[in-house]
Amino acid sequence: MSAQISHRLYLITDRSLLRNQQKLIEVIGQALDGGVRMVQLREKDLSAAQLWPLAQQLRDLTRRYNAQLLINDRIDLALACSADGVHLGAHSIPVAVARTLLGPDRIVGVSTHAAAEIRLASEAGADFVTYGPVYDTPSKRAYGPPQGIEKLRSACQNAPCPVFALGGIKPAHLTDITQSGASGIALISAILSAEDPAKAATQFCTRINRSN
């Protein structure tokens, strides 16, 4: 993997799964207790003014665990809160422009849904990509039907950068995912909606790291 991407579990926020914003902070803290060391703040319905205090809270929290924080889409907020990088989607600023603005030392992640997109993202300066949805999940149905494990395997085969499998991932899927060549997994509800987020994080971290 890229020297900047040393973790194999990537947790993505979604406060709609929880009671309120403060509960999100609590659950992220529990996930960090459980071993998560890479978090993306992704709350696309919030304005910059609404995101700013949340970004500050998560930056303070992740620092205590020496964990990486990425901000979805908002390069301005990432720079303002000294985040480790950004995560870009199909409607974001071009990857190459983001890389120029952020410089060589911050992380740029990119959402992809096809093998060709992985190559283009890497060539433009991405450090890693997410690929999916691999399995069915309500949060990703707008992006089309599940890709499935065979498409993930094909996408990883010649990928020029680390690929994180995303979408509907459960512990039972981890063997297939690691055997596909994926560098890691990106999770949302599997941890945020878990009865015990710290325990869920530990189980996923242990399983995915054991495959090294």
Residue 158 CB contacts under 8 Å (≥ 6 apart), including other chains: 115
The span from the CA of 36 to the CA of 199, in Å, is: 11
The correct answer on CATH 3.20.20.70 for the domain covering 9-210 is yes
Angle between helices 115-124 and 149-157 (to 10 degrees): 40
Q: What pLDDT, in 10s, does the model give residues 149-174?
A: 999 999 999 999 999 999 999 999 99
Going from N- to C-terminal start, the domains of the chain cover 9-210
Mean pLDDT on 109-135: 97
Q: Is the pLDDT of residue 16 over 90?
A: yes
Record the pTM: 0.96
Could you tell me how many residues make up the chain? 212
Give the model's pLDDT for residue 4.
81
Q: How many CB atoms lie within 10 A of CB 48?
A: 11
Mean pLDDT of 202-211: 92
- pLDDT digits 0-9 by tens, 58-75: 999 999 999 999 999 999
Give me the pLDDT at residue 140, please.
64
Q: What pLDDT is recorded for position 32? A: 99
Return d(Cα 85, Cα 40) in angstroms, integer. Answer: 9
- How far apart, in whole angstroms, are the C-alpha atoms of residue 158 and residue 181? 10
What is the Cα–Cα distance from 33 to 157, expressed in whole angstroms? Answer: 33
Enter the DSSP assignment of 63. H
pLDDT value of residue 92: 97
Q: Report, as an integer, the average pLDDT of 194-210.
A: 96
Cα(12)–Cα(123) distance, integer angstroms: 24
pLDDT at 183 > cutoff 70: yes
pLDDT of 128 > 80? The answer is: yes
CA 179/CA 149 separation, integer angstroms: 10
Nearest to 160 by CA among 196, 110, 197, 118: 118
- Is the pLDDT reported for residue 3 higher than 70? no
